[in-house]
Chains A and B, each alone.
Chain A
Amino acid sequence: MAYALQQLINGLTLGAVYGLIAIGYTMVYGIIGMINFAHGDIFMVSAFIAVTAFTLLAAFDITSLPLAITAVLITAIFFTSAYGWAVERMAYRPLRGSTRLAPLISAIGMSIFLQNMVQLTQGARVKPIPPVLEGGIEIWQSGGFTVQISWTQIMIVLITIVLMVAFTYLITQTAFGRQQRACEQDSTMTALLGINVDRTISATFMLGAALAAVAGVMVTVYYGVVDFFIGFVAGIKAFTAAVLGGIGSLPGAMLGGLIIGLIEAFWAAYLSPEYKDVATFAILILVLMFRPSGLLGRPEVEKV
């Protein structure tokens, strides 16, 4: 029981991270209908920026924890958004309105490029950072097993909740959110009404990248190690989460992320850690077979 509770906590933490990345996929898919394959690598770039920023702060002897984490978050969000914008501008915008496959190939190319760029400039070795936030609270003890929530886990969940509230407000209540949703529904009509569609799409990419940046910082703090290949697996899982929740739906992405995180944690704990990726994909296939629009997605009507 205690063991299961611990897995629940671990799974929720992991799920929060997947959810944050999944939002980037779901928003981009919603607005231009493409799988942004390089999104996982944007997340990886952010993790590397976080490593550099933490090391830099340590070198300047800034030890105040809230200050350090805020500074790293802001730095990572700033630079990662720049990456999100640049990727869209270089690899996707020239291809708008061409065949459906072209942007996908260009995205895969971008993903390969980013991975190798980071490998070249930052080195292929795993980068460990000293623990940023240590300790936690013991919440329950039973049968010699202690259930513990670490401060890092609490921080990850709290930041995710705050971001989700802010993000929901941004999308549902502000002028930008209205423009964004309008572009999603009908970009031609939106353009006719005088809204700069290109700019809205760019902003969507930057927002997605910003959330991935937060996820990147969290993962760096949580695991303490980063390498250039983490983007691929995390990206695929997050995409699975987005599809599971219903692509195009923001709460769906978060829900999908949590479910994937939980499945992964429990599968690894009770069944077999080697096959946890297989479990994720198997669930994706099952969901798509029986509920192709995802858990919270609107069923898509095919028009002739």
Chain B
Amino acid sequence: MSAVIIARHARTPAERFKDAAWVAFVALLLGIPMVGLTTVDQGGALTVQTRFGMLGAFVGVSFVGRFIFRWIIDQFRNRRAAKAAVAKVDRTPQVIKLIGWVVLGASVTMPIMFSDNRYVIDTATTVLIYVMLGWGLNVVVGLAGLLDLGYVAFYAVGAYTYALLFSHFGWTFWEALPVAGAMAATFGILLGYPILRLRGDYLAIVTLGFGEIIRVILVNWTELSNGPNGIGSIPRPTLFGLPFDRNPAEGTQTFATFFGIEFSGMHRIIFLYYLILVLALLTNVFVSRLRKLPVGRAWEALREDEIACKAMGMNVTNVKLSAFAIGAMLGGFAGVFFAARQGFISPESFTFTESATILAIVVLGGMGSQMGVVLAALVLVLLPELGRNFAEYRMLLFGTAMVLIMVWKPSGLLSSREPTIRLNKAAATGGQP
């Protein structure tokens, strides 16, 4: 694509007015069929209802909004141009590292501060599930550069593996966890093997298809998955065999009786929170270590230039498969946790929207950036949560945020990427000082 530099001159008020008027005109065009007119069911037949007041408001808001937005953007641009003139040392990596520690500290101490606020801890747990999923998908998309639109399939495989192992064989959370991870990884390899030679966008659409296939099978294969009704009464995880029930079964102890404290429903919520925190942190450590191993470097090399990798004699298929399998395994772990936390799973929870959300977290955060995933998960989970008071606007807000963040920062919120290896000065100059 050609890079054209357009000289910007200061806009005159007339130009601003014209620009905003044009936007208002487009808003009018778009608004007539959707905002201005609607059909309502009256006595079994549809009738058209006009909402010109609402249409007028919509056009007016577009006009004023564009006018102000344009003005702010111009101010911002001027200021940034002035700033860019002053050379500055880029301290972003250090700042991100600092933020990372602060966030970690906050997430460890958070349940203590909000120990009686169930809603806050529940929401934080949801954020952490997405963080973990984001870190898992980051291996596939961010590091290996393989666009996966069906990641939710592995999440579903993990969740259903646990649910089925429990309902048929009575396995507990801790027994099912490794098996579910292995199962998801197997699915990753099974899917990956035939399709990994496809180019980026084709791969995306095939993975999307795979995600849908898994969902359709879960809905229709009633004998296996109980269909759309889902599987219920999945047991919660225990702390080294100590359950978090109110009344202990005969001859066993619960968390509360073992430690001699009074039973509280919050114990389990907080335990679940710490469990996912630990799982997520383990994921993070695991992925960061992998990045420094030969296989991790191979992933990143593959992302940058597949042909060069082939020329260097890398086994591209195996490298891709390893990324796929590890990403799938992490998704499977998250799925087990999800099933255990909800106590009930159904195919409803594993739709394409979920895949899109996880992918959005990875891309919005800045591909390959671990901190970015945390930030994006916070934004994407909390934003709809804030909009819960006007619940019907939740997803609208979500879609808008995805578009706006992309347009504002196409490479993600935290796009600065750490070099995988730094050559020291001597090595860089070929041994000569």
Contact = CB atoms under 8 A, between A and B. Distances in A.
A112 B213 contact: no
Interface in A113-159: 113-123, 125, 127-130
Given A109-B403, A274-B219, A274-B220, 4 more contacts: A79-B33, A101-B141, A103-B406, A113-B396
Interface in B100-159: 141, 147
B208 A188 contact: no
Given A49-B33, A102-B363, A35 B204 contact: yes
**Nearest 3 pairs of A and B residues by beta carbon:** A109-B402, A113-B399, A112-B399
A174 to B, nearest CB: 25
Contact of A105 (B39, B308, B395, B402): B402
Given A187-B2, A302-B307, A277 B406 contact: no
Contacts of B352: 232
Given A104-B204, A108-B402, A285-B206, A121 B26 contact: no
Contact of A99 (B206, B219, B220, B410): B410
B39 A86 contact: no
A240 B205 contact: yes
Interface in A50-95: 51-52, 55-56, 59, 75, 79, 82-83, 86, 90-91, 94-95
Given A35-B205, A86-B26, A285 B402 contact: no
B1 interface: yes
A65 to B, nearest CB: 18
Contacts of B216: 274-275, 277-278
B209 to A, nearest CB: 3
23 contacts: A33-B201, A49-B33, A55-B47, A91-B403, A105-B359, A105-B402, A105-B406, A108-B356, A109-B400, A110-B403, A111-B399, A116-B395, A122-B38, A125-B41, A191-B2, A274-B220, A275-B220, A282-B213, A284-B206, A284-B209, A292-B198, A292-B202, A300-B199
Contacts of B393: 116, 120
A302 to B, nearest CB: 7
B411 A110 contact: no
Interface in B19-78: 26, 29-30, 32-35, 37-41, 45-48
Contact of B35 (A29, A121, A239, A278): A121
B209 A48 contact: no
Contacts of A300: 199
A98 interface: yes
Nearest to B306: A302
B56 to A, nearest CB: 15
Given A122-B34, A288-B202, A304 B307 contact: yes
Interface in A245-304: 274-275, 277-278, 280-282, 284-285, 288-289, 292, 300, 302, 304
A103 B45 CA distance: 41
Contacts of B48: 52, 55-56, 59
A194 interface: no
Contacts of B3: 97
A99 B411 contact: yes
B329 interface: no
Contacts of A114: 399
A212 B202 CA distance: 22
A289 B217 CA distance: 22
A229 to B, nearest CB: 11
A127 B208 contact: no
Contacts of A59: 47-48
Interface of B: 1-3, 26, 29-30, 32-35, 37-41, 45-48, 141, 147, 194-195, 197-202, 204-206, 208-210, 212-213, 216-217, 219-220, 307-308, 352-353, 356, 359-360, 363-364, 367, 392-393, 395-396, 398-403, 406-407, 410-411
Contacts of A86: 26, 30
Contacts of B363: 101-102, 105
Given A79-B29, A277-B212, A108 B360 contact: yes
* Residues of A in contact with B, size category: 35 or more
A106 B400 CA distance: 9
Interface of A: 29, 33-35, 45, 48-49, 51-52, 55-56, 59, 75, 79, 82-83, 86, 90-91, 94-106, 108-123, 125, 127-130, 187-188, 191, 197, 232, 236, 239-240, 243, 274-275, 277-278, 280-282, 284-285, 288-289, 292, 300, 302, 304
Given A102-B411, A300-B199, A82 B29 contact: yes
A236 to B, nearest CB: 7
A29 B364 CA distance: 23
A86 B47 CA distance: 28
A35 B406 contact: no
Given A83-B30, A102-B363, A281 B209 contact: yes
A121 B195 contact: no
B402 A112 contact: yes
Given A122-B38, A187-B1, A102 B406 contact: yes
A122 B46 CA distance: 12
B52 to A, nearest CB: 14
A112 B34 contact: no
Q: Which of B35, B200, B202, B359 has the most CB of A within 10 A?
A: B202
Nearest to A33: B201
A95 B412 CA distance: 12
Nearest to B44: A128
A245 B332 CA distance: 35
A95 B406 contact: yes
Given A91-B407, A112-B395, A130 B30 contact: no
Contact of A116 (B32, B37, B200, B396): B396
B396 A117 contact: yes
Given A59-B48, A117-B34, A292 B401 contact: no
Contacts of B308: 304
